[in-house]
């Protein structure tokens, strides 16, 4: 708990005469007290050996002046180990957790979290699952720490591929089929078009023609494009609803067209963007590949639209942070984007590409052009099916969806975002440890005990070792959330929750609650209450739904 670290740091500062920061105070491992400070950090400044420094500091501290420390020991090559007064510590933790922010520093600032951003006419695939889970957790965490967050789904709804789609529909489409199975039909057309194109290059040209027609808002082309866009959005909404993911706004590349033209002209004027003889625009870099921003036929590109979009978010809408949650395969894109914007003199402070690695199944990979993709909805279906196999009680069956999805979310978030992940269905659906179901299970168990008792939880008597270990783990919640914020890494919270539940289960295994003596019972109920509070909030922050029955 930060308050406690701050107190210790203050005592250390007074005793050593050197300003010692709270974050240098560590949570002890094993039985070396509760917190420690490595005096090795002071050897240079004090020009003494660390063991000696530790001894001298200890001499200067008068434990009579503080309520919250019981004992200080010098250990090893120069550690100061602090033993807190358990009751005082428990009270502090309990008080801190009952505040709104639960001990987490409040931040302010306008934050844009863009995530998901799927393309039109294709169902979301397994890679989007990782994106959605990560982006959603980030929006939840940023909001909790006080930022004014806007989450945005910036869909890929513009470009020559939609000309191809309109053409494919006119060639091979079926109105009835489009009514009945809209997304299936669009995806089928998409795949068919690419297959046909391999034989007939003329198709490419047709696609371009229809893309122009969409761009010029000609009735038929534009109408179909709009319809396909609508179909896709409705289809995606279903997936988001299942995942419990919400956006504050939906935008798309097609909303940026005018601004894009303006931004490109601005870039040309400023000498950042160059014009080629054929009329196309491009940018050269010292250390990155050259990129085109306007084709010879006048059409703009994905990257061009992002330039205009960045400018809008930063200069017009005034976001302090502009986060893009997008897979690592687009890191070059974002490097180029930020570089171009910087050169144009746009404000790029707080613009960050939050990237993540690949997610795959043991079953194999995908290629959407050939129609082989693992759909997001299939992945969820499979997880839910597996959850149903594992659930033993009738009553818990209604929670299979939440358990399956929780398992998937946890499996994504328990691995740092940069790393690739390969799913193993049995591992992610275990109820035993380090899994989504394990978090839900522990939380459910704590709640059920709390429900069964009519006693008022209260911090009285002395904590046992197991109780206190759990209290200490609970106390690390605020700093864990802060790490997650600083590193844009929900994994910090996921891993913390897993350890927290382990501690809970040890406690629960060793300490009867309902059958204990009144004093022990009241105290243990309080410990359970603190655990429940932190575990529920933690799960909420990573988008895993607590459930009532497992
Ligand atoms: N629609 C793009 C895709 O599916 C992702 C968009 C990412 N966001 C952005 N501002 N470029 O690959």
Label the pairing between strands 321-325 and 110-114: parallel
Q: What is the CATH number of the domain that holds 221?
A: 3.40.50.620
Tally of domains within the chain: 3
Find the domain containing 414 and state its range.
397-541
Please tell me whether residues 402 and 506 are part of one structural domain.
yes
Q: Is residue 250 part of a domain?
A: yes
The Cα-based distances of 91 to 3, 4, 84, 458, 499 in angstroms read: 12, 11, 12, 10, 22
Whether the Cβ atoms of residue 447 and residue 525 lie closer than 8 Å to each other: no
Pocket mutation for ligand 1, best pick of 306, 326, 331, 335 (most atoms within 8 Å of C-beta): 326
Give the helix/strand (H/E) hosting 353: strand 351-354
Whether the Cβ atoms of residue 410 and residue 429 lie closer than 8 Å to each other: no
Ligand 1 contact via 254 beta carbon (within 6 Å): no
Kindly report the CA angle at 201 between 198 and 206, in degrees rounded to 5?
Answer: 120
What gap in Å lies between CA 195 and CA 206, rounded to an integer? Answer: 15
Measure 141 CA to ligand 1 centroid, in angstroms: 22
Measure 117 CA to ligand 1 centroid, in angstroms: 5
Please tell me whether residues 77 and 124 are part of one structural domain.
no
Ligand 1 contact via 207 beta carbon (within 6 Å): no
Please tell me whether residues 33 and 164 are part of one structural domain.
no
Pocket mutation for ligand 1, best pick of 113, 117, 376 (most atoms within 8 Å of C-beta): 117
Name which of 358, 362, 452, 441 is nearest 407 in CA terms: 441
Ligand 1 contact via 117 beta carbon (within 6 Å): yes
Q: What is the CATH number of the domain that holds 438?
A: 1.10.730.10
**Ligand 1 atom closest to 309 (CA):** 10
Long-range pairs, 366-374, Cβ under 8 A, ≥24: 366/125, 366/126, 368/122, 368/125, 368/190, 368/191, 369/190, 369/191, 369/194, 370/191, 370/194, 370/195, 371/187, 371/188, 371/191, 373/122, 373/123, 373/125, 373/126, 374/125, 374/126
Please tell me whether residues 344 and 492 are part of one structural domain.
no
Please tell me whether residues 73 and 119 are part of one structural domain.
no
Residue 520 has what pLDDT? 97
Please tell me whether residues 313 and 207 are part of one structural domain.
yes
Of 69, 84, 99, the residue at which a domain comes to its end is 84
Please tell me whether residues 16 and 63 are part of one structural domain.
yes
Ligand 1 contact via 306 beta carbon (within 6 Å): yes
Q: Cα torsion for 56, 479, 322, 135, to the nearest 10°?
A: 150
Q: Is residue 245 part of a domain?
A: yes
Measure 321 CA to ligand 1 centroid, in angstroms: 18
Measure 382 CA to ligand 1 centroid, in angstroms: 27
Please tell me whether residues 42 and 190 are part of one structural domain.
no
**Ligand 1 atom closest to 155 (CA):** 1
Ligand 1: residue whose CA is nearest its atom 11: 306
Query: Phi then psi for 385, rounded to 5 degrees?
Result: -60, -45
Q: Is residue 39 part of a domain?
A: yes
Residue 550 has what pLDDT? 81
Please tell me whether residues 40 and 125 are part of one structural domain.
no
Residue 431 has what pLDDT? 77
Ligand 1: residue whose CA is nearest its atom 5: 117
Q: Is residue 368 part of a domain?
A: no
Of 315, 332, 360, the residue at which a domain comes to its end is 360
What gap in Å lies between CA 337 and CA 433, rounded to an integer? Answer: 42
pLDDT tens track for 180-235: 999 999 999 988 898 888 888 888 899 999 999 999 999 999 999 999 999 999 99
Please tell me whether residues 155 and 251 are part of one structural domain.
yes
Ligand 1 contact via 156 beta carbon (within 6 Å): yes
Q: Is residue 409 part of a domain?
A: yes
Enter the DSSP assignment of 370: G
Ligand 1 contact via 157 beta carbon (within 6 Å): no
Please tell me whether residues 514 and 416 are part of one structural domain.
yes
Pocket mutation for ligand 1, best pick of 116, 156, 306 (most atoms within 8 Å of C-beta): 156
Ligand 1 contact via 326 beta carbon (within 6 Å): yes
The Cα-based distances of 394 to 389, 398, 442, 448 in angstroms read: 12, 8, 19, 17
Q: Is residue 105 part of a domain?
A: no
Kindly report the CA angle at 147 between 143 and 149, in degrees rounded to 5?
Answer: 65
Ligand 1 contact via 543 beta carbon (within 6 Å): no
Q: Is residue 374 part of a domain?
A: no
Pocket mutation for ligand 1, best pick of 127, 330, 368 (most atoms within 8 Å of C-beta): 330
Measure 160 CA to ligand 1 centroid, in angstroms: 15
Please tell me whether residues 71 and 140 are part of one structural domain.
no
Global confidence as pTM: 0.94
Ligand 1 contact via 334 beta carbon (within 6 Å): no
pLDDT, tens digit only, all 550 positions of the chain: 788 899 999 999 999 999 999 999 999 987 789 999 999 999 998 899 999 999 999 999 998 888 899 999 999 999 999 999 999 999 999 999 999 999 999 999 999 999 999 999 999 998 999 999 999 999 999 999 999 999 999 999 999 889 999 999 999 999 999 999 999 999 999 888 988 888 888 888 999 999 999 999 999 999 999 999 999 999 999 999 999 999 999 999 999 999 999 999 999 999 999 999 999 999 999 999 999 999 998 889 999 999 999 999 999 999 999 999 999 999 999 999 999 999 999 999 999 999 999 888 876 655 555 666 788 999 999 999 999 998 888 888 899 999 999 999 999 999 999 999 988 887 888 878 899 999 999 999 999 999 999 999 999 999 999 999 999 999 999 999 999 999 999 999 999 999 999 999 999 999 999 999 999 999 999 999 999 999 999 999 999 999 988 8
Ligand 1 contact via 119 beta carbon (within 6 Å): yes
Q: Is residue 110 part of a domain?
A: no
Whether the Cβ atoms of residue 40 and residue 24 lie closer than 8 Å to each other: no
Q: What is the CATH number of the domain that holds 76?
A: 3.30.1360.70
Measure 524 CA to ligand 1 centroid, in angstroms: 50
Q: How far apart are the first and last CA of the chain?
A: 32
């Amino acid at each position: 708990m930060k308050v406690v670290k701050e107190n210790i740091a203050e005592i250390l500062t007074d005793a050593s005469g050197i300003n010692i920061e709270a974050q240098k105070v560590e949570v002890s491992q094993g039985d070396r007290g509760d917190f420690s400070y490595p005096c090795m950090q002071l050897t240079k400044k004090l020009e003494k050996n660390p063991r000696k420094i530790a001894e001298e500091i200890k001499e200067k501290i008068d434990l009579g002046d503080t309520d919250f420390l019981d004992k200080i020991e010098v250990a090893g090559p120069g550690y100061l180990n602090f033993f807190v007064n358990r009751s005082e510590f428990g009270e502090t933790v309990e008080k801190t957790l009952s505040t709104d922010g639960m001990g987490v520093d409040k931040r302010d600032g306008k934050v844009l979290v863009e995530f998901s951003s799927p393309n039109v006419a294709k169902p979301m695939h397994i890679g989007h699952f990782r994106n959605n889970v990560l982006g959603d957790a980030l929006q939840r965490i940023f909001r909790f720490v006080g930022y004014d967050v806007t989450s945005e789904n910036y869909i890929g709804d513009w470009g020559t591929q939609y000309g191809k789609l309109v053409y494919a529909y006119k060639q091979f489409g079926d109105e009835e089929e489009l009514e009945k199975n809209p997304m299936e039909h669009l995806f089928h057309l998409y795949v068919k078009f690419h297959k046909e194109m391999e034989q007939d290059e003329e198709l490419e040209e047709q696609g371009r023609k229809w893309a122009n027609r969409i761009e010029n808002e000609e009735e038929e082309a534009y109408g179909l494009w709009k319809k396909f866009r609508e179909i896709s959005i409705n289809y995606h909404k279903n997936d988001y609803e299942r995942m419990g993911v919400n956006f504050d706004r939906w935008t798309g590349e097609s909303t940026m067209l005018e601004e894009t033209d303006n931004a490109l002209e601005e870039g040309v004027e400023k000498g950042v963007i160059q014009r080629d003889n054929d009329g196309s625009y491009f940018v050269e870099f010292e250390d990155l590949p050259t990129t085109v921003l306007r084709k010879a036929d006048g059409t703009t590109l994905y990257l061009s639209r992002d330039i205009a979009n960045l400018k809008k978010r930063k200069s017009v809408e005034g976001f302090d942070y502009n986060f893009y949650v997008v897979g690592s395969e687009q890191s070059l894109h974002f490097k180029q984007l930020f570089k171009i914007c910087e050169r144009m003199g746009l404000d790029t402070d707080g613009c960050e590409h939050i990237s993540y690695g690949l997610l795959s199944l043991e079953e194999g990979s995908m290629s959407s052009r050939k129609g082989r993709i693992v759909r997001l909805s299939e992945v969820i279906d499979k997880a839910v099916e597996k959850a149903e196999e594992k659930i033993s009680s009738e009553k818990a069956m209604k929670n299979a969806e939440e358990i399956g999805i929780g398992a998937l979310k946890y499996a994504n978030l328990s691995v740092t975002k940069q790393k690739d992940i390969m799913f193993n269905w049995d591992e992610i659906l275990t109820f035993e440890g380090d899994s989504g179901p394990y978090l839900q299970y522990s939380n459910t168990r704590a709640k059920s005990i709390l429900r069964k008792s009519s006693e008022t939880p209260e911090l009285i008597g002395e904590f046992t070792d197991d109780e206190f270990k759990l209290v200490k783990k609970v106390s690390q919640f605020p700093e864990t959330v802060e790490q997650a914020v600083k590193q844009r890494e929900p994994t910090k919270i996921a891993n913390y929750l897993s350890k927290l539940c382990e501690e809970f289960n040890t406690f629960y295994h060793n300490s009867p609650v309902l059958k204990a003596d009144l004093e022990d019972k009241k105290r243990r109920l309080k410990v359970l209450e603190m655990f429940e509070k932190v575990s529920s909030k933690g799960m909420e922050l990573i988008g895993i739904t607590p459930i009532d029955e497992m």
